[in-house]
Structure 1
Amino acid sequence: MSRSRVLTVVFACAAAVVVAPLASAAAVTIDDPAQYVNPLVGTKPGGPDFGNGGGAGNTFPGAVAPFGMLQWSPDTVTHQHGGYYYDDNRIYGFSLTHLSGPGCSDFGNVPFMPTVGSSPVSYSTFSHANETATPGYYSVAFDNGVRTELTSAPRSGIARFSYPAGQRASLSVDAAKAFNSASGSITVGTNTLSGYTDSGGFCGAGNRYRLYFNVAFDQSFATAGVVNADGKVDPDRRTITGSSQGTVPASPKTAEQQSGVDTRKAPPPTATTGDVQPLAAAAFVSFNASTVTARVGISFVSLDGARANATAEVGTRSFDQARADNRAAWNGILGRIAVSGGTDTQRRVLYTNLYHSLLHPNVFSDTDGRYLGFDGQVHTAAAGHAQYANFSGWDVYRSQTQLVALLAPDRAADIAQSAINQAAQGGYFDRWTVANGGTGVMNGDPLPIIVASMYAFGAKGFDAADGLRRMVAGSHDGRERPGYAQYDAYGYVPVGTGGVWGTAATTLEYVSADFAVSQLAQRLGDTTNYDLYLRRAQNWRNLFESGNRYLQPRNTDATFPSFSPTQQNEYVEGDAEQYTWLVPHNYRGLFDAMGGNAAVLSRLDAFFTQLNAGPDKPNAYLGNEPTLNTPWAYAYAGAPYKTQDVVRRALTSIFKATPDGYVGNDDLGEMSSWAVWAALGMYPETPGRAELVLASPQFPAITISRSNGVTVEVTAPNASDSVKYVQSLAVNGAASSRAWLPESFVNGGGTLAFTLGSTPNTGWGSAAADAPPSFDVGPNPARTGAISGLASKCVDVNQGATTNGTAIQLYDCNSSGAQSWTLASDGSVRALGKCLDVANSGRADGTKVQLWDCNGTGAQQWWPRSGGALVNPPSGKCLDVPNSNSANGTQLQIYTCNNTGAQTWRLP
């Protein structure tokens, strides 16, 4: 009998007829879920261009295996960052490599262009009526009668070119063309083309990579040659080397490029509307046949590796066999989420988003395990494992990598190990990596979050201890964390810090990374780093301006510069209103600082009056990453029914099953993964952890089958887009009012039984005890008593006054209320209804401490350390008796920690 438990979710309408929750349910299976996938979704703008990479998904429609190295796809003359623009009817080639949904361009290497006649062409036209795109297969018939079919395996693929009778069947292959500048070389054999290409420059960065390719045709060439610079074919040459400048302007998106300027992401490049550039290093061959099959292998290691990959993966299989194999591979992983019921449109949206969630990261090692590392050396993955590449870290740490870990923890473990290998070979965790190089694109420190989250979701088959060591080291490395010295010194990255893109946004990103590091440290038994990084994870408080209750940029001297909630300066791809919610690991602390649940709910309601308002309005911007966590925040404020509403409205209004189905860049699966989680009715809100905040499932029945044997079953009778409100819930047969699921649910499975209705149940999940967990630093429950120190005297509120600014002093212990201090769960120290506060958030030795309204800021944070010290984390200074003066009335201060009796305190 399986030891894994089954999760069953049952929903019913709360109208006149209520369907009772089922005690158990049979597993749901689905035949051929690939039939619901439309790879063309995202190739046409679905929303406004807000200057963050355009209003399209920037996906590509071509043939790729799950997480495949080869992404063989058409490229249109009008460029989008995925290579394909739906409204352009001109294709200039079928290149071998792509990124799905990026905000910049890279790859697009080695375009193949079939044609008729004796000369290469710049492009050919087509109609979408003659185009087919499904998982693992792409086909298009040009208006000239040439048909191209593509299918793929992870590192290889097969093309089938069909030509009209009576015309010369020809083909060009260019080794020196890519979306960005490229160079390369190609050699022509009797029925083979082989070579390499060099390119890079993602978002204007300096990354470079080399890709090797080998093409074997099923018949010998009738004619063959290379294309000279004048565009004419030279039949006497069999090799050519060349270069091209690319057609896509750089879009700077690194911290170094953005430092000191308005921190909007650069606008998308102007679309290329003319003819493509001349061929750069192309072979041009023809055949005495009307149907030609080409087998292609690629490798980032060697030409021999490219050949071996093709031999191992497609071998002598026919095109149709290879296509069927790829379809089966896709159905195998898509079917891990099986649904029944719902509408055809709902299924198409779900499975298309799931498909786009599973394209990246990409297998990077060859079939023999070899791969090129970040040190430029060839390494070998452990037997039975693979190295992965292309980490869109800033994007996918939020929910895409968690979805991969949910469905395939074994693969996720390899992905996590791959990230650690990158850090080991390159010296640090880069934020956004392409092939075997870092780019430094975007901000924050996302790869540690990815590794820690995958571990939390049960992906344990990697060297997590080594990963933790590198995370800790990287947090003090300027390559990984620009501005780390200032962050370490002040507890935030001050305005004006060099090399930092968006100091406020970067601070909050580092805070999330610190929390993830703390959680992995705790899981591995490293209590020292757990305590340290959990404290650092509360550094958001150092940006909290208690007057207007926003997380704001801050100067080095602790003052706040002029501020507007809609300013983008010092933020990244969003504004202050949107970033103020980026504390997903401690909403309780943030919400208390904001004035409590009522104040928070009012702000959230105003925030969600628009769902995709762009980066310069005080509303949600769900077409981009920084606000993806926010719809789920209602559950922490006692109103999970509002999460249920906003999540369903966003899912049904923003995501579509048509080419314009995304309103912003998919960013290597991040936006599409959010839609998958939304359809499941649960979300991994907290970086580095595996709790799931609940909304409600969209389908009557769902079965999630993890690769480790754990099965999750969801049944939801009467579920629909309008029947979305939770009325009741049973977990493993027991009634529950909690709006979240614990980590044990993800890693062990379980049963859920919901009743759904079409009207909100405002009481369900509204109690404070029902909210998802927040992770703060104080004792829980709080502790109350005297704080005593030098000469056995007590910390005392002068005269028991409660006026802001009242001195905190040393005084004879007298058991009065002025000496009754509470160590609160938020890390503050409280007496008489107010907090122990560092005057003006000072950091200098001798800064006085005082009583002040509790306001959630870092000036009121205190860390009890071993030996009796009480440290204020933002300043790094200790609560101190000046000059060890034990006289009654001596006002306390902060001072450099020195382990003296003047800084030794006995706490409740």
Structure 2
Amino acid sequence: MHVKNIIIFSTLILGFWACQNRSQRPIDYVDPMIGTDGIGHTFPGATVPFGMVQLSPSNDFKSWNWCSGYHYSDSVLKGFAHTHISGAGLAGLGDILLMPMVGEVKLNPGTEEDPESGYRSRFSHDREKASAGYYSVVLDDYDVHVELTASERVGCHRYTLGKEGRLNVIIDPTHNIMEKVLDTGVEFLSETEFRGYKKCDGEAGERTVYFYAKFSKPVSGYGLAKDDEIITEVFKLNGNNTKAFVQFDLQSDEALEVQVALSFVSYKGAKANYEAEVKGNSFEETLAEAKHKWSEKLNKIHVKGTSESDKRIFYTGMYHSFISPNLVSDVDGKYWLEGKAYPSKIPQYSNYSTWDTYRALNPLFTIIEQGKTAEFVNSLTSRYTETKVGLPVWECLGHDNVCMIGYNAVSPLADAALKDIPGIDKEKVYQAVRAAAMSLEKHSPNYDKNGMAEYIRLGYVPAELNCAVSKTTEQNYYDWCISQLAKKLGNQNDAALFAERSMGYKNLYHPVKKFLYSKYTTGEWREMNPKVWDDLIANYVSGNIWGYSAYVPHDVNGLIELMGGKEVFALWLDDIFADTTQIGGHTHVDISGFIGKYGHGDEPSQHMPYLYNYAGQPWKTQEKVRQVINDFYFDLPDGLVNNDDLGQMSAWYIFSSMGFYPVCPGDMKYIIGSPLFKEVVLNLENGKQFKVKAKNKPKENIYIQSVMLNGKPYTKTYLTHDQIMDGGELICIMGSTPNKDWGTKQGDLPYAKVDLNKNQSALPKITYKPYDKDNSEVFEGSRRIELTCHTSNAKIYYTLDGRTPNKRSGAYKKPIIISKTSNLKAIAYANGMEQSFIYERTYYAGRRFAELEKGFPKITLLNESKKFGDADGSMLLDLEIGSESFNDSRWTGFDGEDMVATIDFGQPISINNVSIGYLSNTGVWIFPPSSVRISVSMDNDNYNTIGYQKLNFSQEEMGKPFLRRQDFQLGRTEARYLKVKVNNFGLVPDWHAAAGHKGWLFVDEILIN
């Protein structure tokens, strides 16, 4: 259909809706301001569903709360940029900023503290409006009324002066949110046309965004600038800081319209996008079309009853759910992926936060947005089948920044294929998901590996790696998804293989603690204090021990059996929701929204309220779901308890308020909770409707008394995907007290259990790694080494000179006695099993200063307040060497600071050798030191430097975690005081996502001979 015809149709539709009662229009309940305050991380600007452009007010990145570029606490605006991420925990984008102003042309934005120093302006929320597809604000410093709307690839501005005068429009490609700008360009094309580009590096990798700007009237004047200095008589400039301004003489209340088209491929693409979408259209026509697109999406679900506030939360949640993923291909099909342009015959999307969204948002799309689901799946699948880059972990504008764990894109792909969504090639999907699960390498060298080699061999990710429990349970679930798809396609061998892999979590179930704990490659449990956040963060990512110990959605009944049955499991859940004990240390910012130890603020726990149904106590699910709805969702700017994560938090609310939720995407079930609305109507793309009706004041009466499905009594506490897609009516009779009979019989409960055949087991098929139970690496005189292996009948072989051991090496038969510094390597073999991983430890011969005066040596840290967690200076002299795991309780960390340690021996001693260990793990912002200096003194005032080493490491070296010791041979230096200074790396390099910030410095044992 021609664009003009679409606009005429849209206008007629909008006119028809305007004649109806406003309460019947879902679009009127959308409030984009919800989530812009607190830590919701949403933006209030204009966009259309799944569009390339998110045109929104923007500011500099000031803290984590500014991830979207805007925060409700702002009272000053920098301008209006064309790309933003909705509700993410990462910061990026903010491409191509425009700012209208009057008076003297200023090309520097100035500061928020002093807006007059640049082109910024103050504003008031009283004169700010936001709705679906529209944003407006009055810039107080200039009396300019700004209005914004958008098509898919074009942002449309309208600026109106309060009085007659000259309007200046600043075009600033250098604006960014937590990204490094590498190059920019601006070019004057004609009296009504401008274009330019911005090349940058950040969460979306190294990329270029091109723009084409069309003004509604000829310019009165213009200028180009480099480094904020205007260059006269030029039409084109480029450099790492180029900007432009255009000027227009306007009458009072006369409006200037600007259309800005984007492309991530080329100037040609930007111009073509403009011509295809908005050429010849007025601001009002584009706005009408944007409103039509949003109304079409929002009308997919109609809710009735309860309060206006609930409807605002619901439809704003739908609005946020339909912002991402985002279109990245131009109208000619070209798009940018991992540094290269590709042609495509299908629409290409990015901003896939699938670790978050697979849990509820993507399943929601499979019900009400099947057409787009097929596009998203085909786009993701093409990453493997067409471009060969592989499935992304967290893809931002065509770049996988690997900021989360696992191969999480498997879930939405497999779920859609299992549900037979039209337009999906199941075989191609299977090829892609299987390859992701067999890859031993991460896509980026800058992140801690997922431990795939260990995971495949052991059945679990070992405690030697960070966040081992989270990685294990997530990957277990993804493997189950692959198993289900393999079964559907008739591949029984793969179905069995991945079903077996999906059970690895059982290796981490601690039978005494009743939680999932990290376990080493030796088979030993990792010691952990659940009352200290730093310990919890070491084992779990963006979640906690309580959420991840319940995160086996594909095998809930297997977990119930491990715990001792349904009653025991329900009591275990009760204790979690009721546990209000305090936890010390540093909590992760994403873990919030607590009911006891249940944290709704991040995704791994969000299924937990629904687990009571599996245990035969659905009334408790009803209680907890309503408590979350009531406590953590509001129609206020700070109405989200945590960042919306590209719609996942909102999708949880949409499902839960409708009355059901997908605990395990891929199993075709939706677990029934407590419907909030009197009526919900899902308008399905197949032309059918599925209705949920809740009778007897569901807002107040939260407990289900009885249920009818299509006119017949229904006692199951779950629905199937086919039941919903076939259309029908679910009627829930609600009451004020629990009905402990409904849905409690065995046949009524949801069931999730992986049944392995008699030849399969979740237990490791590899011999456990041998190890030395004595943790001390430093000894005086001699050291007795006793090796242990938890695999019965295993034989151990070892070397002491650093060579790789094998069956021809020395056989371990009795304790090993050493009297000098030695590098032990050991390996174990057991019949019928793979050989173990190699155990390695260096033992350092030294002395313990036992003959010195009591209380010495004493150690003092200069930056005691900058340490990591509970580590202190004593850890530098505790006779234990740190491992590659930053959270093994052996490291002392400093946030952006140098480490300066002074050691007082109590009396002069002879020092022959000093060494200190350090860790590099750039994936968690830990960088190696830039230099190490050793100084000595007799009086603690006058120090002489006797050792200094400047350190240099390449990007490749820092791509993977490593630990090293810096050694200094001092030649019998006499001193009472020893000062060790380890200098912080400094500013994080450009190739890292944290470029421009200072990283962590992690050091351990100071060894002195």
Q: Same fold (TM over 0.5)?
A: yes
| Mapping 1:259-270, distance limit 5 Å | none
1:300 aligned onto 2:264? yes
Equivalent residue number for residue 509 of structure 1: 474
- What displacement does 1:563 show? 2.4
Moved more, 610-619 or 644-653: 610-619
Equivalent residue number for residue 431 of structure 1: 393
- What displacement does 1:607 show? 1.8
Equivalent residue number for residue 181 of structure 1: 180
Distance 1:687 1:714 in 2: 21
Distance 1:489 1:59, change over 3 A: same
- What displacement does 1:405 show? 1.9
- Which among 211, 215, 219 is matched to residue 213 of structure 1? 211
- Which among 33, 37, 54 is matched to residue 30 of structure 2? 37
1:414 aligned onto 2:413? no
Equivalent residue number for residue 410 of structure 2: 448
Equivalent residue number for residue 866 of structure 1: none
Distance 1:235 1:844, change over 3 A: closer
- Which among 550, 557, 564 is matched to residue 581 of structure 1? 550
- What displacement does 1:611 show? 10
- What displacement does 1:157 show? 2.7
**1:829-882 residue CA offsets vs partner (Å, 9 max, x unmatched):** xxxxxxxx98xx78449x9xxxxxxxxxx999xxxxxxxxxxxxxxxxxxxxxx
| Mapping 1:853-864, distance limit 5 Å | none
Distance 1:95 1:766, change over 3 A: same
Distance 1:210 1:242, change over 3 A: same
* Contact 2:692–2:732 (8 Å) recurs in 1: no
Moved more, 550-559 or 597-606: 597-606
**1:412-454 residue CA offsets vs partner (Å, 9 max, x unmatched):** 0110111111234243212100111111111121101111122
**1:355-379 residue CA offsets vs partner (Å, 9 max, x unmatched):** 1111000112222322223461321
RMSD: 2.6
* Contact 1:34–1:135 (8 Å) recurs in 2: yes
- What displacement does 1:327 show? 0.7
* Contact 1:137–1:149 (8 Å) recurs in 2: yes
Distance 2:559 2:603 in 1: 20
Distance 2:357 2:543 in 1: 17
- What displacement does 1:612 show? 13
Distance 2:23 2:154 in 1: 28
Distance 1:430 1:69 in 2: 19
- What displacement does 1:584 show? 1.0
- What displacement does 1:717 show? 2.8
- What displacement does 1:778 show? 4.3
- What displacement does 1:597 show? 1.7
The secondary structure found in structure 1 opposite 2:646 is: coil
* Contact 1:457–1:746 (8 Å) recurs in 2: no
Distance 2:522 2:263 in 1: 52
1:468 aligned onto 2:430? yes
Equivalent residue number for residue 537 of structure 2: 568
Give the TM-score normalised by structure 1: 0.76
Counting aligned pairs with the same residue, the percent is 30
**Paired amino acid for 1:525:** G
Equivalent residue number for residue 272 of structure 1: none
The secondary structure found in structure 1 opposite 2:343 is: strand
- Which among 41, 44, 47 is matched to residue 58 of structure 1? 41
1:113 aligned onto 2:110? no
* Contact 1:405–1:458 (8 Å) recurs in 2: no
1:487 aligned onto 2:455? yes
Structure having the larger proportion of residues in strand: 2
**1:468-517 residue CA offsets vs partner (Å, 9 max, x unmatched):** 112212212122673111111000011224xxx41111111111110111
Tell me how many residue pairs correspond in the alignment: 717
Distance 1:525 1:196 in 2: 50
Distance 1:349 1:309, change over 3 A: same
* Contact 2:58–2:79 (8 Å) recurs in 1: yes
Distance 1:767 1:653 in 2: 31
* Contact 1:844–1:895 (8 Å) recurs in 2: no
- What displacement does 1:456 show? 3.3
Distance 1:844 1:288 in 2: 80
| Mapping 1:149-548, distance limit 5 Å | 149-179=147-177, 180-182=179-181, 183-189=183-189, 190-202=191-203, 207-229=205-227, 231-243=228-240, 280-289=241-250, 290-374=254-338, 376-382=340-346, 386-424=347-385, 425-477=387-439, 478-479=441-442, 482-497=450-465, 501-548=466-513
**Paired amino acid for 1:238:** F
Equivalent residue number for residue 820 of structure 2: none
* Contact 2:695–2:731 (8 Å) recurs in 1: no
Distance 1:60 1:173 in 2: 21
1:702 aligned onto 2:680? yes
Distance 1:608 1:200 in 2: 43
Equivalent residue number for residue 805 of structure 1: none
The secondary structure found in structure 2 opposite 1:587 is: helix
**Paired amino acid for 1:62:** G
* Contact 2:500–2:756 (8 Å) recurs in 1: no
- What displacement does 1:733 show? 2.6
| Mapping 1:681-700, distance limit 5 Å | 681-700=659-678
- What displacement does 1:894 show? 7.0
Query: Which structure would you say has the larger RCO, counting Cα contacts within 8 Å and 6 or more residues apart?
Result: 1
Distance 1:545 1:399 in 2: 29
* Contact 2:216–2:256 (8 Å) recurs in 1: yes
- What displacement does 1:164 show? 2.8
The secondary structure found in structure 1 opposite 2:614 is: helix
The secondary structure found in structure 1 opposite 2:246 is: strand
Distance 1:768 1:622 in 2: 29
Equivalent residue number for residue 901 of structure 2: none
Equivalent residue number for residue 847 of structure 2: none
Equivalent residue number for residue 762 of structure 1: 740
* Contact 1:732–1:752 (8 Å) recurs in 2: yes
* Contact 1:692–1:740 (8 Å) recurs in 2: yes
- Which among 620, 636, 648 is matched to residue 614 of structure 2? 636
The secondary structure found in structure 1 opposite 2:481 is: helix
- Which among 126, 129, 134 is matched to residue 129 of structure 1? 126
**Paired amino acid for 2:200:** S
Equivalent residue number for residue 923 of structure 2: none
Distance 1:602 1:469 in 2: 42
**Paired amino acid for 1:542:** N
**Paired amino acid for 1:513:** Y
* Contact 1:73–1:98 (8 Å) recurs in 2: yes
The secondary structure found in structure 1 opposite 2:247 is: strand
Distance 1:516 1:548, change over 3 A: same
1:75 aligned onto 2:58? yes
Structure 1 residue ranges without an equivalent (≥5): 1-27, 46-55, 244-279, 780-822, 829-836, 848-857, 861-892, 898-908
**Paired amino acid for 1:521:** A
Distance 1:373 1:574, change over 3 A: closer
The secondary structure found in structure 2 opposite 1:752 is: strand
The secondary structure found in structure 2 opposite 1:411 is: helix
Distance 1:451 1:767, change over 3 A: same
Distance 2:581 2:295 in 1: 32
The secondary structure found in structure 2 opposite 1:507 is: helix
* Contact 1:361–1:388 (8 Å) recurs in 2: yes
| Mapping 1:618-637, distance limit 5 Å | 619-637=597-615
**Paired amino acid for 1:571:** Y
Give the TM-score normalised by structure 2: 0.68
Equivalent residue number for residue 15 of structure 1: none
Distance 1:368 1:68, change over 3 A: same
Structure 2 residue ranges without an equivalent (≥5): 1-20, 107-117, 444-448, 771-789, 793-829, 835-1009
Equivalent residue number for residue 86 of structure 1: 72
- Which among 631, 636, 661 is matched to residue 658 of structure 1? 636
- What displacement does 1:683 show? 0.7
Equivalent residue number for residue 752 of structure 1: 730
- What displacement does 1:78 show? 6.3
Moved more, 89-98 or 437-446: 437-446
The secondary structure found in structure 1 opposite 2:626 is: helix
Distance 1:474 1:576, change over 3 A: same
